[in-house]
């Protein structure tokens, strides 16, 4: 009975959010998935129409509803361009939660989310083992992107070029009690995020070097967990809320002025979804999450404001030619676009804009796993736009986008490198010191 009451409460929340949709079709013109399939059911308007009769559909055809809802990148292009201000991203996530509560998670997802992801220590250990033994199952492709391919045919890894797990995760380089780096200015805490910790540790090292060079104080609490977006995107609000509780206990109020992340997805999740979708709204925790959201900034946004970076026009640098891809969760969700470009120019790079810099790269988290053919088709468009600039490096502020773009460039046998803006800036500091 309690479970059904919770489902009914979620449905009422959805109904309140959906009434403002005018079915104008603006979402159709910006949806990267619709661009590929031309199917009305793949666009936000079609999914919202489906959700109007959600409870009836859940009972009559739960698998069909689930399949259609999961054919979505959660890129936020529709929400960013909606004239009625419909928060489509939040609506879809809540709808997935309703379906997951009713249907239950698959056995594989229960293991991944509830046994692994929800227990950060266990997750760290398992990924650590994967880093040690991955060489048995992968082969080095020896390309500019540093990707690997599977030695064996696998439904998940076949035909993919993926970034291997780091031999030593970022958190292993830090003191056991976490990092406390003294400095002037505001007190800053860093939320690392899974991909930076386990696949792109150099991004974390770059952040530390930048803060040290500019005498900025930085704290990195130990034992951090996932931001929870993989579980939430699959409808597992329980695991999501458990991870929120875990991380919130590490980032105590009053110990810092800003919480920064170098992952666009983590930033958007903490700012937008932690307070909006946390499972127990009556606990008082949601208010704390709202306060934390106000303190949370993307690393490029923070550095641009603190370092007084100029906004030189594109093409004004004298260094190597770099183009920039706008992560959906950074530009569309948070409105952060100028600051990463400022950091790239401050690194002495010649920034050249690509066509469609803010168009989705096609990653979409689990969308890439379940719909790799569509993900690749969208990614190939991004790869072509990157190549057309004549750049030697493509930079972006999202590690997930870095993975997708690396895959596409490697398949095209391109020599273009993929770097985060903070890596470029830290490298310029090293070269000039």
pLDDT-wise least confident of 49-63, 127-141, 236-250: 49-63
Check residue 8 and give its pLDDT: 59
Looking at every residue in the chain, the average pLDDT score rounds to 87
Task: Please indicate whether residue 170 or residue 13 has the higher confidence score (pLDDT).
Answer: 170
* Distance, CA of 161 to CA of 407 (rounded, Å): 5
Tell me, yes or no, whether 304 lies in a domain: no
Q: What is residue 169's three-state secondary structure?
A: coil
Tell me, yes or no, whether 28 lies in a domain: yes
Domain boundary, last residue among 104, 121, 156: 104
Q: What is the mean pLDDT of residues 273-302?
A: 90
Tell me, yes or no, whether 11 lies in a domain: yes
Domain boundary, last residue among 54, 71, 104: 104
Check residue 24 and give its pLDDT: 82
Q: What is the mean pLDDT of residues 222-234?
A: 95
Structurally, how many domains does the chain consist of?
2
Tell me, yes or no, whether 143 lies in a domain: no
pLDDT-wise least confident of 25-29, 84-88, 278-282: 278-282
Tell me, yes or no, whether 63 lies in a domain: yes
Per-residue pLDDT band for 390 (boundaries 50, 70, 90) equals: very high
pLDDT of 15 strictly over 80: no
Torsion angles phi and psi, residue 146, rounded to 5: 70, 30
Check residue 6 and give its pLDDT: 62
CB 137 within 8 A of CB 171: no
Check residue 1 and give its pLDDT: 44
Task: Please indicate whether residue 266 or residue 280 has the higher confidence score (pLDDT).
Answer: 266
- For 111-170, write each residue's pLDDT tens digit: 999 999 999 999 999 998 888 878 777 777 778 888 887 665 555 666 788 898 999 999
Check residue 9 and give its pLDDT: 64
Q: What is the mean pLDDT of residues 96-119?
A: 88
Q: Domain with 37 in it: what CATH number?
A: 1.10.1060
Domain boundary, last residue among 53, 80, 104: 104
* Distance, CA of 264 to CA of 317 (rounded, Å): 25
Q: Domain with 399 in it: what CATH number?
A: 3.40.50
Check residue 2 and give its pLDDT: 47
Helix (H) or strand (E) holding 418: strand 417-419
Q: What is the mean pLDDT of residues 2-24?
A: 66
Per the structure, the complete domain to which residue 357 belongs is given by: 309-432
- For 336-376, write each residue's pLDDT tens digit: 999 999 999 999 999 999 999 999 999 998 899 889 999 99
Is the entire prediction scored with pTM above 0.85? yes
Tell me, yes or no, whether 421 lies in a domain: yes
Q: Which two tokens stand for residue 189?
A: 């805490």
Torsion angles phi and psi, residue 332, rounded to 5: -75, -40
Q: Which two tokens stand for residue 422?
A: 């903070």
| Closest C-alpha among 89, 77, 84, 83 to residue 29 | 77
Check residue 87 and give its pLDDT: 83
Ramachandran quadrant class, 228 (left: phi over 0; alpha: psi -120 to 50; beta: rest): left
Helices (H) and strands (E) in the chain, counts: 24, 11
Task: Please indicate whether residue 61 or residue 403 has the higher confidence score (pLDDT).
Answer: 403
Tell me, yes or no, whether 79 lies in a domain: yes
Q: What is residue 329's three-state secondary structure?
A: helix
CB 178 within 8 A of CB 219: yes
* Distance, CA of 126 to CA of 124 (rounded, Å): 6
Tell me, yes or no, whether 383 lies in a domain: yes
Beta strands in 288-384 (DSSP E): 296-298, 321-325, 350-351
Check residue 147 and give its pLDDT: 85
Percent of all residues in the chain with a pLDDT value above 90, rounded to a whole number: 58
Torsion angles phi and psi, residue 296, rounded to 5: -90, 130
């Amino acid at each position: 009975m309690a479970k059904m009451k919770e489902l009914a409460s979620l449905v009422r929340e959805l109904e309140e959010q959906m009434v403002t949709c005018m079915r104008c079709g603006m979402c159709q013109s910006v949806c990267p998935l619709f661009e590929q399939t031309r199917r009305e059911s793949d666009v936000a308007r079609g999914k919202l129409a489906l959700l109007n009769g959600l409870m009836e559909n859940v009972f009559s055809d739960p698998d069909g509803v689930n399949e259609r809802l999961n054919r979505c990148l959660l890129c936020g292009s529709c929400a960013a361009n909606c004239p009625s201000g419909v928060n489509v991203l939040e609506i879809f996530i809540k709808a997935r939660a309703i379906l997951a509560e009713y249907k239950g998670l698959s056995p594989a997802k229960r293991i991944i989310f509830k046994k692994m992801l929800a227990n950060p220590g266990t997750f760290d250990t398992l990924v650590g083992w994967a880093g040690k033994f991955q060489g048995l199952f992968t082969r080095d492709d020896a390309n500019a992107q540093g990707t690997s391919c599977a030695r064996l045919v696998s439904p998940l890894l076949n035909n993919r070029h993926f970034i291997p797990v780091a031999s030593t995760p970022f958190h292993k380089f830090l003191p056991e009690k976490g990092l406390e780096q003294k400095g002037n200015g505001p007190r800053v805490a860093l939320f690392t995020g899974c991909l930076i910790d386990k696949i792109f540790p150099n991004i974390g090292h770059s952040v530390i070097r930048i803060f040290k060079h500019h005498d900025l104080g930085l704290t990195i609490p130990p034992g951090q967990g996932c931001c929870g977006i993989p579980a939430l995107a699959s409808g597992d609000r329980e695991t999501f809320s458990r991870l929120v509780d875990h991380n919130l206990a590490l980032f105590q109020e009053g110990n810092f002025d800003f919480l920064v992340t170098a992952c666009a997805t983590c930033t958007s999740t903490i700012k937008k979804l932690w307070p909006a979708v946390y499972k127990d709204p009556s606990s008082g925790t949601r208010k704390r999450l709202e306060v934390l959201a106000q303190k949370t900034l993307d690393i490029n946004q923070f550095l641009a404001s603190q370092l007084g970076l100029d906004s030189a026009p594109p093409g004004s640098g004298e260094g190597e030619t770099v183009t920039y891809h706008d992560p959906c969760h950074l530009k569309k969700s948070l409105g952060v676009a100028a600051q990463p470009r400022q950091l790239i120019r401050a690194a002495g790079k010649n920034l050249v804009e690509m066509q469609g810099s803010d168009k989705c790269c096609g990653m979409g988290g689990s969308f890439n796993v379940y719909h790799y053919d569509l993900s690749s088709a969208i990614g190939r468009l991004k790869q072509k736009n990157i190549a057309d600039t004549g750049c030697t490096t493509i930079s972006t502020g999202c590690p997930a986008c870095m993975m997708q773009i690396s895959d596409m460039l490697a398949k095209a046998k391109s020599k273009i490198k993929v770097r985060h803006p903070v890596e470029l800036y830290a490298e310029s500091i090293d070269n000039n010191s």
